[in-house]
Chains A and B, each alone.
Chain A
Amino acid sequence: MKEPFGALSLTKVCTMELLKKNKKIFFNIGLLVIFVWLLITSYSQSKRKPDNVGELLNDFSWLGGKWPKWLDLPLMKWINAGFKAINEKYGYIFEAINNFLLYILMLVKNFLIQAPWPLVILGVVVLTYFASGRKIGTTVFVGFCTFFIGFLHPVFWQKAIETTAIMLIGIFLCVIAGIPLGIAMARSVRTRNVVLPVLDLMQTIPSFCYLIPGIMLFGLGAVPAIIATFIYAVPPLVRLTDLGIRLVDKEVIEAADAFGASKKQKLLGVQLPLALPNIMQGINQCTMMALAMVVIASMIGTRGLGDEVLLGLQQLNVGRAAEAGIAIVLLAIVLDRITQSYGETLQERTSPAKKEKK
Chain B
Amino acid sequence: MSKIEINNVYKIFGPKPHDVLEMVKSGSGKEEVLEKTGHTVGLDNVSLKIEEGETFVCMGLSGSGKSTLIRHLNRLIDPTDGEILVEGTNVMSLDTEKLIDFRRHKMSMVFQRFGLFPHKTVLQNVGYGLEMQGIEPEKRNSVSMEKIEAVGLSGFENQFPSQLSGGMQQRVGLARALATDTDIMLMDEAFSALDPLIRSDMQKQLLDLQAQLKKTIVFITHDLDESLRLGDHIGILNAGKLVQVGTPVDIIMNPADDYVEAFVKDVNRAKVIKAKVIMKPVNEANGIDKSNLIKVQEDQFIEEFLPQVVCTNSNCEVVDKQGNTKGYITNKELQHSLTKS
Residues of A within 8 A of B (CB): 249, 251-252, 254-262, 265, 270, 273-274, 349-356
Contact = CB atoms under 8 A, between A and B. Distances in A.
A2 B82 CA distance: 40
A251 B112 contact: yes
Q: Is the interface of A mostly helix, strand, loop or mixed?
A: helix
Contacts of A261: 100, 132
Contact of B132 (A260, A273, A274): A260
Contacts of A270: 117
A358 to B, nearest CB: 11
A256 B131 CA distance: 11
Contacts of A255: 109, 111, 115-117, 128
Q: Which residue, of A255, A256, A273, A351, has the highest number of chain B Cβ atoms within 10 A?
A: A255
Contact of B111 (A254, A351, A353, A354): A254
6 contacts: A255-B109, A257-B76, A258-B108, A274-B117, A352-B118, A352-B162
B132 A265 contact: yes
Interface in B175-198: 176, 180, 186
Q: Which residue, of A259, A270, A355, has the highest number of chain B Cβ atoms within 10 A?
A: A259
Contacts of A256: 117, 128
Contacts of A352: 118, 161-162
Contacts of A257: 76, 103
B84 interface: no
B104 interface: yes
B129 interface: yes
Interface string B124-141: 000011001100000000
B132 A259 contact: yes
Contacts of B111: 251, 254-255
Given A254-B111, A258-B74, A352-B161, A274 B118 contact: yes
B78 to A, nearest CB: 12
B180 A251 contact: no
Contacts of B105: 260
Contacts of B100: 260-262
B119 interface: yes
Contacts of B104: 259-260
A349 B160 contact: yes
Contact of B129 (A249, A259, A355): A259
B113 to A, nearest CB: 5
Given A273-B119, A349-B119, A258 B103 contact: yes
Given A260-B104, A354-B162, A274 B119 contact: yes
Given A255-B116, A349-B160, 8 more contacts: A258-B103, A259-B104, A259-B176, A260-B103, A261-B100, A261-B132, A262-B100, A274-B119
Contacts of A260: 100-105, 129, 132-133
Interface of B: 71, 74, 76, 100-105, 107-109, 111-119, 128-129, 132-133, 160-163, 176, 180, 186
Nearest to B128: A259
A355 to B, nearest CB: 6
A89 to B, nearest CB: 43
Contacts of A254: 71, 76, 109, 111, 115
Q: Which residue, of B71, B128, B176, has the highest number of chain A Cβ atoms within 10 A?
A: B128
A259 B108 contact: yes
Given A262-B100, A352-B161, A352-B162, A252 B132 contact: no
Contacts of B102: 260
Nearest to B101: A260
A187 to B, nearest CB: 15
B115 A252 contact: yes
Nearest to B180: A259
Contacts of A353: 162
Shortest beta-carbon contacts, A-B, top 9:
A260-B104, A255-B115, A260-B103, A258-B109, A251-B115, A259-B129, A352-B162, A260-B100, A260-B132
Contacts of A273: 119
A257 B115 CA distance: 11
Contacts of A274: 117-119
B162 A355 contact: yes
A255 B186 CA distance: 11
A351 B161 CA distance: 10
A353 B161 CA distance: 11
B298 to A, nearest CB: 41
A320 B107 CA distance: 70
A210 to B, nearest CB: 39
Contacts of B115: 249, 251-252, 254-255
A252 B117 CA distance: 6
A251 B107 CA distance: 17
Nearest to B107: A258
Given A259-B129, A260-B101, A252 B160 contact: no
B145 to A, nearest CB: 18
Contact of B163 (A252, A258, A350, A355): A355
A351 B162 CA distance: 8
A251 B163 CA distance: 19
A252 B129 CA distance: 13
A258 B74 CA distance: 7
A255 B100 CA distance: 13
Nearest to B118: A350
